Amino acid sequence: MLFLGCVQLENELDLKLVSFSKLCTSYSSSRDGHRGDTSDTTPLLNNSTQDRMFDTMSVEIEQLLAKLTAVNDKMAEYTNTPGTASLNAALMHTLQRHRDILQDYTHEFHKTKGNFLAIREREDLLGSVRKDIETYKSGSGVNNRRTELFLKEHEHLRNSDRLMDDTISIAMATKENMTSQRGILKSIQSRVNTLANRFPTINNLIQRINLRKRRDSLILGSVIGVCTILLLLYAFH
């Protein structure tokens, strides 16, 4: 009866260990598949589910290993009971075989569990580093945009200052030119007045010339006016 229970536990443990190994493999694969993904929502949900399954299966396997150990201990006690001397060699061989199976299952469980924990610890560390890098890049991007805006604004202010300086320079040059021309005109006018005062004949001649220009202008204006009126009368006749 003990040997039958031992075999049943070994079969159950074998199935559990196979499922446990597949769980650890799928955990590693899902981590690798989402390593390049910047979105953390789906990977976190999947890995959280796998973590819960890992904890549950670990407890179940540990309980089965404990039961199998207890059964092996009872079988060892049974082989030492009186009346089993004739069967002692066969029983010891069978017991040793079950102990080897228990040792193999225990070793496989601890190895798989250790690999799973190492993968999870490594991926958690890498995930933390990736988040820190993304945070740093995000902050650097904001700072770079702000710096770029400040540089553009500074360049705009410098261009405005340069334009104002150029405008002021042009205004000053224009003012100096106009002042110089006004001085020249005053000098010419002063010389003309001096000449007119010194030579009255020239002054009279200039006045006559001006009067004749005015008269000629009046005559020419009158002729043009009369011709225009005649043309209008002819056109509407």
- Model confidence over 190-206: pLDDT tens digits? 776 676 666 667 667 77
Q: Which pLDDT score is estimated for 138?
A: 64
What's the rounded Cα separation, in Å, for the pair 150 and 23?
54
pLDDT higher than 70, residue 142: no
Q: Which pLDDT score is estimated for 43?
A: 44
What's the rounded Cα separation, in Å, for the pair 76 and 206?
153
pLDDT band at 40 (very low <50, low <70, confident <90, very high): very low
Q: Which pLDDT score is estimated for 3?
A: 64
pLDDT higher than 80, residue 4: no
| Mean per-residue pLDDT, 38-52 | 57
Q: For all residues of the chain together, what is the average pLDDT?
A: 76
pLDDT higher than 60, residue 46: no
| Mean per-residue pLDDT, 32-61 | 65
Please work out, in degrees rounded to the nearest 5, the angle formed at the alpha carbon of residue 94 by the alpha carbons of 88 and 95: 85
Share of the chain above pLDDT 90, in %: 0
| Mean per-residue pLDDT, 37-45 | 44
pLDDT band at 137 (very low <50, low <70, confident <90, very high): low
Q: Which pLDDT score is estimated for 41?
A: 42
pLDDT band at 42 (very low <50, low <70, confident <90, very high): very low
Please work out, in degrees rounded to the nearest 5, the angle formed at the alpha carbon of residue 67 by the alpha carbons of 24 and 90: 110
| Mean per-residue pLDDT, 183-189 | 78
Tell me the H-state helices in the chain.
2-33, 41-79, 88-198, 200-236
DSSP calls for 68-118: HHHHHHHHHHHHTSTT-STTHHHHHHHHHHHHHHHHHHHHHHHHHHHHHHH
33: phi then psi, degrees, rounded to nearest 5:
-70, -30
Q: Which pLDDT score is estimated for 198?
A: 67
